[in-house]
Every structure is written in structure tokens, then in C-alpha cells.
Amino acid sequence: MADAAALIEASGSRFSDLELIGRGSFGDVYKGFDKDLNKEVAIKVIDLEESEDEIEDIQKEIAVLSQCRSPYITEYYGSYLHQTKLWIIMEYMAGGSVADLIQPNQPLDEMSIACILRDLLHAVEYLHNEGKIHRDIKAANILLTENGDVKVADFGVSAQLTRTISRRKTFVGTPFWMAPEVIQNSEGYNEKARL
């Protein structure tokens, strides 16, 4: 809990009640109360000294999140640099991820699956209309609010398509969730192949 105390002190008491809720490839994620926003938030804390090779990916994630305005995408509130730590402040999703709901020998009921997929498709439609490719949609990146609203998160490997470059020639994502043409590295692909 020393890390949480250091965060509270470094934030000038903007945040309170910090609690470590997860550890990711880029850093630790805390839940806390943001006094400026007057709501619970998720705070991803990334040590830039330890993540030197991923700084470009982190910048891309922030750029994509800051441009998204959809009820089906996790909300981004801002980023702050404190010494060597980057804090990314985002909407707190109290319901966890769809991956948390999946239990061995206990499949989700059909109605729950239909609701999740409906909202996921709204998110994908929004991203495609904005010319964005998520490139890593999977159960762990589909989050739920306390009320069961479904939102897509984790834009660390996302890409922005421009009008002149409508195809991507990169291989990024989680292979279990990739389209065959992406795995085979076919001659370019557009947003329809990459959720």
C-alpha cells in the first residue's frame, strides 16, 4: 500500500481511497476517488523508465482514447506526468471484464451474450466510422459498468486509418482473436478484418 500512499501524496490530495485493482503489461491500475471529477476513476500508473520501449504505444493509446466520444468506449479523463510516472485517468468499470464472467463449466446465458455482443457491435461500428481499428478486442478488453453497460477498453495496439492509407500491413494483437487474413499477413487489410 506504500505505492497508493505515494500516489495520494503526489496528487496533492486530488485522489483518495486508492486501491490496487490490477497489474498490466504497461503498469499498475488503481481505483480511487477523484475529488476534481467527484467520482471514482481508474488510474493506470506507468513507470516510463521501465517502459521506454513502449512509450510510442502508450502515446498512441492516449491519442486514440482522447478522441473517442462514445457510450461504448471507456471514457478518458486525462494524463499527468509526475517524475517518471505517467498517470492515465479513466472511467472506472466496477463490473470488471467479460473474461472475469467466463467460468469453466458455467457458460454465460444466451441473453447475457446477446447484450454484450449488441453493445460490442455498437463500439465497433463507432470505431469503424471514426476510421479506427482496435486490433485487440477480446473478453479481457470488454469491460462492464456496475449497471452492466458494456464498453471497449485497452487501445494499446490500436491504429488510426487515414483516407489515403486505408489498409494496415502490421501484425499486432492476440492471435486467438485474429482474423485469418491478418495471421496470414495477407496483402493489407482494412478495419473490417481487425476489430
Residue 195 has pLDDT above 70, yes or no: no
Which CATH architecture group holds 1-183?
A: Orthogonal Bundle (1.10)
Question: CA angle at residue 99 from 86 to 113, to 5 degrees?
Answer: 130
In angstroms, rounded to a whole number, what is the distance separating the alpha carbons of residues 114 and 136? Answer: 20
Question: Where does the pLDDT of residue 110 fall: very low under 50, low under 70, confident under 90, or very high at 90 and above?
Answer: very high
Q: Would you say 112 and 160 are in contact if contact means Cβ atoms under 8 Å apart?
A: no
Residue 39, marked binder: no
116-157 residue pLDDT tens? 999 999 999 999 898 887 777 889 889 999 999 999 987 665
What's the rounded mean pLDDT across residues 106-117? 93
Question: CA angle at residue 159 from 154 to 162, to 5 degrees?
Answer: 150
Cell of 154: 485497452
Residue 5 has pLDDT above 70, yes or no: no
Which run of H or E residues covers position 79? Answer: strand 76-82
Which amino acid appears at position 97 of this protein? S
Q: Which entry of 28, 119, 136, 154 is annotated as an active-site residue?
A: 136
In angstroms, rounded to a whole number, what is the distance separating the alpha carbons of residues 177 and 169? Answer: 17
Which amino acid appears at position 52 of this protein? E
Which run of H or E residues covers position 101? Answer: helix 98-101
> pTM value?
0.74
Write the DSSP symbol of residue 183.
Answer: H
57-82 residue pLDDT tens? 788 778 888 889 999 999 999 998 88
More confident residue, 147 or 172: 147
Residue 193 has pLDDT above 60, yes or no: no
* Predicted pLDDT at 164: 42
Cell of 59: 502515446
Q: If we measure between CA atoms, which residue out of 105, 26, 20, 14 comes closest to residue 58?
A: 26
Is 57 a residue of the active site? no
